[in-house]
Amino acid sequence: MIFVLSGCEQTPPPIEPSGNIVKVGVIGSFSGPHKAWGNKGLQGIKAAQKLTPYHDNGDKIELIVEDDRDSPTHVIEVLKKLVKEDQVSAILMLSDSDPVLAVSRISEQYIRTPVLALVATHPAITQRNSLISQLVLDNKFQATVAALFVRDELLIDRVAVFSNPNSANSTYLADEFERQFKSVNGEISDRIVLSKKNINHSEIIQEVRSKNPQLLYLPINAADLIAFSKEAKKINWAPIAMSSDGMLANVMAAHEDEIARVEGFMATDFFGFDLPTTPFGKEVLKTYISLYGDNATTHSGLGAEGYTLLINAMNRCDKPANKACINKMIRSTDNFTGIQKKISIGRDGKAKRPLIVNSVVGGELEYVAIVY
């Protein structure tokens, strides 16, 4: 009564370790072109594990980490190892869409282990099975929001669209953006499909400029994004540009010395860097900084959210290692408190959360808009 009247809250009793271990697999791109987001995401997972090392029943959570090498072929090997040899109860994936799509083709028939994709956004990931769920909004929603924002908010009529043909993620985003932009009477001045090698960035950017687009839509990798920005500057051209989820964070993490190249660029994202954080967000970000001494990125935040959401789902099962129950509880997530906003995941494995538009201003990310 005294505690209630004084406004104080009792600290919950510490969890008594049970002596049991529940293993959780982590698959990510820790080498290759996407290693920056893989490593940052893993740091976010470990920061969240520091806060929640045990299940509510006292079972210890052990992470088994594997590198997918950014390869749809190799990811199958590490997936089978995690399930058959390590006997993990669930898997967190920090992989791009292509490796996750490869997993989706076999997971239901052979693996039978729940997977939570933390950064992969291709819509087909959840359509092919009932065991993979997405923490992030898929490309259909993202591209639609980007197209309508460009047309209705920025009042832009003509856009040049770029894509990378060897990336399912890039291709889908470009196709859907083009379709949605045309549906609201926008004009596509050019569609540039980048080859796998020998890209002449200078020739491409000059050709694109000759057709007078008002904006460049660039769901491509960070290296090409920076290269096109350099070439545009050489011909004294500063077009408005928009990219896709996590791209600006990836530039800041993997190409920090090039951040000035993307000044003013916009991108869809899952966190607004000027928006207030929740109590959970404050705690995990404080822990992240104490462990790693630098600022968290979008991928760090998704890693922390994904880990905590998974443990929340496991705690709602009678036995935290029950795979069928874990999968059911992931897909019954309702208003989970993330770092900034609420997250829900439906029976179809699709996430519901706000989408943010950020921009690079003075070498830092700045919030532009939020779409629910």
CB 239 within 8 A of CB 213: yes
Closest CA to 332 of 362, 310, 300, 360: 310
What six digits make up the tokens of 260?
A: 């000035």
Q: Find residue 242's DSSP bridge partners.
A: 217, 266
What six digits make up the tokens of 57?
A: 């029943």
Asked if residue 3 has pLDDT above 50, the reply is no
CB 217 within 8 A of CB 183: no
Q: Find residue 361's DSSP bridge partners.
A: 364
pLDDT of residue 295: 80
What six digits make up the tokens of 328?
A: 């059911």
Work out the average pLDDT over 280-301.
94
H/E stretch holding 345 reads strand 342-345
pLDDT-based confidence at residue 152 (cuts at 50, 70, 90):
very high
pLDDT in tens, 169-212: 999 999 999 999 999 999 999 999 997 677 899 999 999 999 99
pTM as predicted: 0.92
Count the residues in the chain. 372
Q: Is 368 left (phi over 0), alpha (psi -120 to 50) or beta?
A: alpha
Residue with tokens 């897909």, as numbered in its chain: 331
Work out the average pLDDT over 310-331.
97
Regarding predicted confidence, which is higher, 110 or 184? 184
pLDDT of residue 12: 60
Kindly state the DSSP code that residue 256 receives in the 8-state scheme: G
pLDDT in tens, 225-247: 999 999 999 999 999 999 998 78
Work out the average pLDDT over 270-293.
94
Which amino acid is present at 270? F
Asked if residue 1 has pLDDT above 60, the reply is no
Q: What b/e readout covers 52-77, taking b as 16+ CB neighbours within 10 angstroms?
A: bebbebebebeebbbbbbbbbeebbe
Regarding predicted confidence, which is higher, 296 or 305? 305
Question: ∠163-178-211 over CA atoms, to 5°?
Answer: 75
